[in-house]
Structure 1
Amino acid sequence: MKKNWLFLLIARQKWMLFLALLFVLIEAAANLAMIGLQKWLIDDVLLSNGGEQFRHILMLFAIVFFVYVVMFVVSPYVMHKNYLSIHHSLQKKMMDQLQQVSMRSYKKHPVSFYLHKLNQDVKTVAVTAALHIPKIVQTIFMAVVLSLILLSVSPILFFLLLFASTCYFIVGKTMAKKATIIAKDVQERKSDLFVHVEEGISSTREIVAFDRRKWEISLYEKLFNKMMDSVMKEGKFQNKLLFLTEPLKWLGILSVLLFGTYQVAAGKMSIGLFVVIYQYASQLMKSYQELFQYVFEFFHQRASIHRIREVLHVESESKGTKRIDDVEDILFEEVCFSYEQTAKGALDRLNLHIPKGKKVAIVGASGSGKSTISKLAVGLYRPDSGKVLVNGVDLTDIEASHFLKRVAVVPQEPYFFPDSIRMNLIMGLTDITNEQLEQVCEIAQILSFIKGLEKGFDTVIGERGISLSGGQRQRLAIARALLKQADLLILDEATSALDRQTERMVQKGIDDAQGGNTMLVIAHRLSTIQNADMIYVLEDGVVQSCGTHEELMEASSHYRSLFMAQVITAS
């Protein structure tokens, strides 16, 4: 869904869109028929005393009016249903795309940048596809039919109105490019303001704690003023268009009025025909103006189409197709990796082996590349060079969803949804019993806290778990990971916010619960990984040494200095 993505999206709704087009065309035809029947009502009934024809004309009028009313009611319903379907499909497609893009893309733009596109731009495009396109077709249909009717009645009158329509076209073509530029600028300014507001709300605690409310408001004012300037510029542009186009509409209507009056006075046109032709001409000029407005709205909305296309064209990771039955081992071969904002690589020709059923630990000073390994191990990032192999297969060749079902991760900063504790623990898993929840929470040393809450597991913890302490969040995240019963458990400094006694209890519970499953532990406190089967010591993205705790204490001065420094600090 890269090229012609909008066409493909519309094609999926083609039959419902066709139905909407059919209904609006019938509505337009009924409207024109009601106007046309007025000629016979005036000429043959009112002026000629044709009482016998009155009944037939009235019956026809009633039938046409009934059709018009039905279509007038049904067509908006069908179009709105199409709007909801297209909105849903496009938003779903964008969410799916955003969940597949490279994590590097999120380094370039904040999440709220994409949220604005998901909300405002998707709505704009859905309105264009489902509501405006049928209306544009209806307007073109009416303009063509009315032009043919007026041409058959009076070529002179037709060419007068054609001149006005040509002027509309010239104005539209001249102003179209500028309209798109202005509309895109307005959307960008609105997006900047939305991003700032969202970030300001998310960082409320920091803003209050650092007494930066005035500073935050001043930034808001600057962004709001920029957005207001863009909106006012767009308003002035629209007023300019109105100033150029409104006289064209009245020029056409006055031309018809003067020409029709002359024709009636000369006896060349009946009063009934004059009334109908005047209404048709007014309707035609209205159609020209509506078509002009729709075209300009399309150029305005094209900015949203471009913005959505930018998201759909964001670099996404190539999808693997291979599947694995379980995670036998993970091997890092000559892996190099760097973040874009740092000139120095986070990992440099890293070689590391995580065998099945073993507890492997990674230690090192801050910034040595420990957490980067966990991100590469689950495919959140891809190496700049080298390979990450799972069961001897390149991780990029493995189907991501299939692999991730066998992996559980506890990150440094776990995310929690503004929902209940139960829903945050389950995270889409099925057939989870209360006994299972209590079991993993007991291992994570969080069960007594949950049972002490009035609503227990049904307690809502707020966005990002704001009502919990750092240690409580970490323990909930550990319980969530254990509940998955994955082949590979990755703990990325998962107990850093716990006191030492609780940390030891949690770590022992995890070791017992994992049994023969594989564990990758990224630790800051070395006391928690002394029983690891293999410990890798990182320094500046390179494995400086590896072995068991006893082996490293004897052979690695770097590991020994790290361990002794923590022992001294603890004592």
Structure 2
Amino acid sequence: MKEFFQILRRFVPPYKKFLILNILSNVLSAILNIFSFSLIIPILQILFKLSDQVYKFIPWDADMSMKKIALNNFYYYVTELIKTYGPSKTLLILGLFLSIMTFMKTGTYILTFATIIPIRTGVVRDIRGQFYKKLLNLPLSFYSEERKGDIMARMSGDVQEIETSIMSSLDMIFKNPILIIMYFGTLLAISWELTLFTIAVLPGMGWLMGTIGKKLKRKSLIAQSQWSDMMSQMEETLGGLRIIKAFNAEHKMDDRFNRCNNEYRHTISKVNTRQQMSGPMSEFLGTVLIVIVLWFGGTLILRNSSTIDAPSFIFYLVILYSLINPLKDFSKAAYSVPKGLASMQRVDKILQAENSMEISENPTPIKDLKDKIVYKDVSFKYESEYVLKHINLVIPKGKTIALVGQSGSGKSTLVDLLPRFYDVTEGEILIDGVNVKDTTLYDLRSIMGNVNQEAILFNDTFYHNIAFGVENATMEQVIEAAKIANAHEFIMASEKGYETNIGDRGGKLSGGQRQRISIARAILKNPPILILDEATSALDTESERMVQEALDNLMKNRTTIAIAHRLSTIKNADEICVLHEGEIVERGKHDELIELDGYYRRLCDMQGF
């Protein structure tokens, strides 16, 4: 339970007022419950005429215990009612009083739910919000080691399990200890001898429930891991349907998923079986406890060796039975909470993941590019092998620098270091003399625009995709950006113009159209630094012409770093850098590199350029 209370300390404080109200309503509910049950004693005495004792009123300030004064005066008022109205009407009055007390108890019971629900729903909302925010803030290097399906499983299945297992147990955790303490105190007040006997039986129940709860947590961790595997397979299947169908691999993928599905079913069946055992087992143990106490107490009364009379013993049994329910609910929590704690561990792997991206405590603001970008002896490695080695590169303002080379030579990595998608392993990158590590990520990325090989669009309208990341963009500005990107015509030809939804990842558009929307987005942002990562390599000739024209419009008066496989698109660059195995092996203009008759010339010859 230590882990459970750590979770409460982390997430419950914003809801303290609801927690205080919940505790107060639970205390009031328990008090009303005890007093309503206490009416059983005089009702039984009246019905069965068990007592002929005469009671006299004792002043409340008399030199006696408050318990004795309260009991005596209570019976005094009941006997006065019997004298005045007779036994039948007194029973009716006591019955009405019992109904009123029960009504008030029901009202406080409803209040306990009304105050616990905002805590439950609020905490789960906060966990989801923190989880999503963490996903946005973690560096890209974190995701290179994680599966998207597993992250989705943690966000959906695990957070849902936290709500189902832990948050649904909040009521049990806050209410049941109060009920247990107050009922237990009442039992002590009625007969401490019987209560000591009852205590001797309880530890065995607690040990049995705790043992099963530990096993449940272990199995829950395995089950959630298997659920993540299924989600990962689902994500891979949806992303690779075209290849699966092209290679007739449906049967293979189906078998693979069914194996995982069956493993999950086998594990979750064990988890659910143990969880469902909690109710029947606690009910059985509770009944055993009542039977043992009934035998022991009844024997004492029958031998006239008990300190309480028969009506008080029945009241004792009623309170003891009332104690069984919160104990049973507590046992349910002991079963369900470990299952939720297993999910919380998986969620915490994301929430408590360390962000390796160091941010300067006193950042230097960067609002524009005034002079140049400098890569100064930059080296980088993802794990053990260096991907870039001692890169020295100067990119003056307003110039276009092209990066070419075979796949895996380090071109994309080189440009990913500039907006700090990854941090350099050695060396430094300077913008106008300021190290990129010494400014904020927001300032750094706000002066850059990206157009990638795969146009990353969202399931939204043309307008919102173009205006993405630009606050308060007007329709006129969006239209102007679309015109410069050669996208306005096909947008207006769609059903609702700029309010047309483009589908998941822009699935309703052709490759060239998606790319031009991506370019329009960069145009609207109007960044001083532009990064083009093979922006035309996946297009047909006609689409390439349209996109290249849009890129030419975008590149005017900007500092551009362009990665290109199609060398025809960068022959007019101010400088071309040829990368080979992480090093710049050649640099210069197109004609100069052709004359060198080296790597660049061979690349051109392979493309027939």
Q: TM-score, normalised by structure 2?
A: 0.85
Pairing 1:108-123 to 2, within 5 Å after superposition: 108-123=145-160
Name the aligned partner's letter for residue 185 of structure 2. Answer: L
Tell me which residue corresponds to 1:38: 40
Indicate how the Cα distance of structure 1 residues 438 and 4 shifts in structure 2: closer, same or farther if over 3 A, else same: same
Secondary structure of the structure 2 residue equivalent to 1:135:
helix
Is it true that 1:284 corresponds to 2:326 in the alignment?
Answer: no
Q: Which moved more, 1:202-211 or 1:448-457?
A: 202-211
Q: Deviations over 1:250-291 (max 9, x none)?
A: 211112333454466567655543443222111222322222
Q: Is the 8 A contact 1:260 1:278 kept in 2?
A: no
Tell me which residue corresponds to 2:230: 193
Tell me which residue corresponds to 2:575: 534
Tell me which residue corresponds to 1:486: 527
Name the aligned partner's letter for residue 34 of structure 1. Answer: S
Secondary structure of the structure 2 residue equivalent to 1:460:
coil
Tell me which residue corresponds to 2:348: 309
Q: Is the 8 A contact 1:80 1:130 kept in 2?
A: no
Secondary structure of the structure 1 residue equivalent to 2:379:
strand
For residues 391 and 424 of structure 2, what CA distance do their matches in structure 1 show? 10
Name the aligned partner's letter for residue 300 of structure 1. Answer: K
Q: Which runs of 5+ in 2 are unaligned?
A: 50-81
Q: Deviations over 1:418-460 (max 9, x none)?
A: 2222222222433323332232223322322222212222222
For residues 69 and 4 of structure 1, what CA distance do their matches in structure 2 show? 32
Name the aligned partner's letter for residue 43 of structure 1. Answer: Q
**Deviation at 1:199?**
2.8
For residues 327 and 63 of structure 1, what CA distance do their matches in structure 2 show? 77
For residues 553 and 36 of structure 2, what CA distance do their matches in structure 1 show? 83
Secondary structure of the structure 2 residue equivalent to 1:188:
helix
Indicate how the Cα distance of structure 1 residues 176 and 365 shifts in structure 2: closer, same or farther if over 3 A, else same: same
Select which of 6, 27, 30 maps to 2:29: 27
Select which of 440, 454, 457 maps to 1:413: 454
For residues 112 and 32 of structure 1, what CA distance do their matches in structure 2 show? 52
Q: Deviations over 1:478-511 (max 9, x none)?
A: 1111111112111101112334454345334433
Tell me which residue corresponds to 2:376: 333
Q: Deviations over 1:359-416 (max 9, x none)?
A: 2211122221111122111111112222222232222232112221221111222322
Secondary structure of the structure 1 residue equivalent to 2:450:
strand
**Deviation at 1:227?**
0.6
For residues 554 and 278 of structure 2, what CA distance do their matches in structure 1 show? 71
Indicate how the Cα distance of structure 1 residues 68 and 80 shifts in structure 2: closer, same or farther if over 3 A, else same: same
Tell me which residue corresponds to 2:586: 545
Q: Deviations over 1:131-169 (max 9, x none)?
A: 423422321121222222222222342133212321122
Is it true that 1:132 corresponds to 2:169 in the alignment?
Answer: yes
Tell me which residue corresponds to 2:66: none
Q: Which runs of 5+ in 1 are unaligned?
A: none
Secondary structure of the structure 1 residue equivalent to 2:386:
coil
Name the aligned partner's letter for residue 368 of structure 1. Answer: S
**Deviation at 1:58?**
4.9
For residues 204 and 151 of structure 1, what CA distance do their matches in structure 2 show? 68
Q: Is the 8 A contact 1:489 1:520 kept in 2?
A: yes
Q: Is the 8 A contact 2:429 2:436 kept in 1?
A: yes
Is it true that 1:566 corresponds to 2:607 in the alignment?
Answer: yes
Q: Deviations over 1:177-232 (max 9, x none)?
A: 33321221122122222222233233333322322221121111101111112122
Tell me which residue corresponds to 2:473: 432
Pairing 1:351-390 to 2, within 5 Å after superposition: 351-390=392-431
For residues 403 and 266 of structure 1, what CA distance do their matches in structure 2 show? 88
For residues 351 and 46 of structure 1, what CA distance do their matches in structure 2 show? 102
Pairing 1:230-245 to 2, within 5 Å after superposition: 230-238=267-275, 245=282
Secondary structure of the structure 2 residue equivalent to 1:211:
coil
Is it true that 1:149 corresponds to 2:192 in the alignment?
Answer: no
Tell me which residue corresponds to 2:389: 348
Select which of 280, 295, 298 maps to 2:337: 298
Name the aligned partner's letter for residue 40 of structure 1. Answer: P
Name the aligned partner's letter for residue 279 of structure 1. Answer: V
Name the aligned partner's letter for residue 346 of structure 1. Answer: V
**Deviation at 1:53?**
4.6
Q: Is the 8 A contact 1:168 1:288 kept in 2?
A: no
Indicate how the Cα distance of structure 1 residues 59 and 480 shifts in structure 2: closer, same or farther if over 3 A, else same: same
Q: Is the 8 A contact 2:402 2:561 kept in 1?
A: yes
For residues 390 and 39 of structure 1, what CA distance do their matches in structure 2 show? 86
Name the aligned partner's letter for residue 42 of structure 2. Answer: W
Secondary structure of the structure 2 residue equivalent to 1:99:
helix
Tell me which residue corresponds to 1:92: 129
Secondary structure of the structure 2 residue equivalent to 1:104:
helix
For residues 23 and 158 of structure 2, what CA distance do their matches in structure 1 show? 24
Q: Which moved more, 1:227-236 or 1:368-377?
A: 227-236
For residues 92 and 359 of structure 1, what CA distance do their matches in structure 2 show? 41
Select which of 177, 199, 207 maps to 1:170: 207
**Which of these two proteins has the greater Rg computed from alpha carbons?**
2
**Deviation at 1:113?**
0.9
For residues 111 and 470 of structure 2, what CA distance do their matches in structure 1 show? 42
**Deviation at 1:520?**
1.3
Name the aligned partner's letter for residue 187 of structure 1. Answer: Q
For residues 32 and 327 of structure 1, what CA distance do their matches in structure 2 show? 76
Q: Is the 8 A contact 1:17 1:130 kept in 2?
A: no
For residues 244 and 80 of structure 1, what CA distance do their matches in structure 2 show? 28
Q: TM-score, normalised by structure 1?
A: 0.90
For residues 414 and 35 of structure 1, what CA distance do their matches in structure 2 show? 71
For residues 401 and 68 of structure 1, what CA distance do their matches in structure 2 show? 56
For residues 523 and 183 of structure 1, what CA distance do their matches in structure 2 show? 49
Q: Is the 8 A contact 1:368 1:538 kept in 2?
A: yes
For residues 397 and 574 of structure 2, what CA distance do their matches in structure 1 show? 11
Secondary structure of the structure 2 residue equivalent to 1:250:
helix
Tell me which residue corresponds to 2:74: none
